[in-house]
Chain A
Amino acid sequence: MSAATQPVNPARLFVREQRALQDPNWIKWSLIAIALSFIGLFICLPLGLVIFQAFSKGIATYWSALAQDDTVAAIKLTLLTAIITVPLNTVFGVAAAWAITQFEFPGKSLLTTLIDLPFSVSPVISGFIFVLLFGAQGWFGEWLNAHDVKIIFAVPGIVLATLFITFPFVARQLIPLMQEMGNQEEEAALSLGASGWKTFWAVTIPNIKWALLYGVLLCNARAMGEFGAVSVVSGHIRGVTNTLPLHVEVNYNDYDVVGAFAGASILAALAIVTLILKTALEWRQANR
Chain B
Amino acid sequence: MAKSSIMPGFRPAIGFTLVYLSLVVLIPLSTLVFKSFQLSWDDYVNIITSKRVLHSFRVSFVTSLVAAFVAGFFGFIVAWVLVRYSFFGKRFFHALIDFPFALPTAVAGIVLATIFQPSGFLGKLLSETFGIQVAFKPLGIVMALIFISIPFVVRTVEPVLLEFETTMEEAALSLGATRLQVFTKIIFPNVFPALLTGFALAFARGVGEYGSVIFIAGNIPYVSEIVPLLIVTKLEQFDFEGATAIALTMLVVSFLLLLVINMLQYWVRKRSGQL
Contact between A and B in the complex (any CB pair below 8 Å): yes
Chain A contact residues, CB within 8 Å of chain B: 1, 3-6, 8, 10, 12-15, 17-18, 20-21, 23-24, 28, 31-32, 34-36, 38-39, 42-47, 49-50, 53, 88, 91-92, 95-96, 98-99, 102-105, 111, 114-115, 117-118, 120-125, 128-133, 137-139, 160, 163-164, 167, 183, 186-187, 190-191, 195-197, 199-200, 218, 221, 224-228, 231-232, 244-246, 248-249, 252, 257, 260-261, 264, 267-268, 270-272, 274-276, 278-279
Chain B contact residues, CB within 8 Å of chain A: 1-4, 6-10, 12-14, 16-18, 20-21, 24-29, 31-32, 35, 74, 77-78, 80-87, 90-91, 93-112, 114-115, 121-122, 146-147, 150-152, 155-156, 158-159, 162, 166, 169-170, 173, 179, 194, 197-198, 201, 204-205, 207-211, 215, 227-229, 231-232, 235, 238, 240, 243-244, 247, 250-251, 254-255, 258
- Return the chain A residue nearest B247 by Cβ: A125
CB distance from A282 to the nearest CB of B (A): 9
Given contacts A98-B9, A267-B103, contact A3 B228 (CB under 8 A): no
CB distance from A274 to the nearest CB of B (A): 5
Please tell me which one of the listed residues B17, B77, B155 contacts residue A6 in the complex, with CB atoms under 8 A apart: B155
CB contacts (< 8 Å) of B109 on chain A: these are 227, 249
State the CA gap A125–B91 with chains docked (Å).
Answer: 37
CB contacts (< 8 Å) of A6 on chain B: these are 155, 159
Majority-rule SS of B interface residues:
helix
Please tell me which one of the listed residues B14, B77, B210 contacts residue A31 in the complex, with CB atoms under 8 A apart: B77
User: Which has the most chain B C-beta neighbours within 10 Å: A4, A118, A261?
Assistant: A4
- Beyond the given A34-B74, A104-B3, could you list 18 further A-B residue pairs with CB under 8 A, ordered by the A residue number? A8-B159, A20-B169, A35-B74, A43-B150, A105-B14, A120-B208, A121-B251, A122-B207, A122-B209, A137-B238, A183-B7, A190-B7, A190-B8, A252-B215, A271-B102, A271-B103, A275-B98, A275-B99
Given contacts A8-B155, A137-B240, contact A20 B170 (CB under 8 A): yes
Are B4 and A227 in contact, CB atoms less than 8 angstroms apart? Answer: no
Please tell me which one of the listed residues A10, A21, A249 contacts residue B94 in the complex, with CB atoms under 8 A apart: A10
State the CA gap A31–B166 with chains docked (Å).
Answer: 19
Please tell me which one of the listed residues B121, B244, B251 contacts residue A132 in the complex, with CB atoms under 8 A apart: B244
CB contacts (< 8 Å) of A96 on chain B: these are 13, 17, 21
Please tell me which one of the listed residues A129, A137, A267 contacts residue B107 in the complex, with CB atoms under 8 A apart: A267
Please tell me which one of the listed residues A99, A129, A221 contacts residue B13 in the complex, with CB atoms under 8 A apart: A99
Majority-rule SS of A interface residues:
helix
CB distance from B39 to the nearest CB of A (A): 13
User: Which has the most chain A C-beta neighbours within 10 Å: B173, B205, B207?
Assistant: B205
State the CA gap A133–B23 with chains docked (Å).
Answer: 12
State the CA gap A13–B161 with chains docked (Å).
Answer: 10
CB distance from A32 to the nearest CB of B (A): 5
